[in-house]
Copies of this chain bind each other. A is one copy, B any other.
Amino acid sequence: MALFLSTYINKVDRKGRVSVPASFRATLSGEAFQGIVLFRSNNHVCLEGFGQSAMEDLSGRLDHFDLFSAEQDDMATAIFGEAVQLPFDGDGRIILPSALISFSGLEEQAAFVGLGRKFQIWNPEEFESRRDKARQSVQEKGLTLPREKAGGAES
Listed in ascending order, the chain A residues whose CB lies under 8 Å from chain B are 1-7, 23, 33, 37, 42-44, 52, 55-64, 67-68, 70-71, 73-78, 80-85, 113-118, 130-131, 133-135, 137-139, 141, 143, 145-149, 153, 155
Contacts and interface: CB of A to CB of B under 8 A. Distances in A.
Contacts of A134: 73-75, 77-78, 81
Contacts of A153: 149
21 contacts: A1-B33, A1-B85, A5-B37, A5-B55, A23-B85, A58-B67, A58-B116, A59-B117, A61-B145, A67-B117, A70-B137, A73-B134, A74-B133, A74-B134, A75-B138, A76-B115, A77-B113, A77-B115, A77-B130, A78-B134, A81-B115
Given A2-B56, A115-B77, A67 B61 contact: yes
Nearest to A69: B43
A125 to B, nearest CB: 15
Contact of A80 (B3, B52, B61, B74): B3
A64 to B, nearest CB: 6
Contacts of A60: 148
Given A62-B145, A77-B134, A81-B115, 16 more contacts: A1-B52, A6-B84, A7-B82, A43-B73, A44-B73, A58-B116, A74-B134, A75-B134, A75-B143, A77-B115, A78-B135, A80-B114, A81-B114, A81-B131, A81-B134, A82-B131
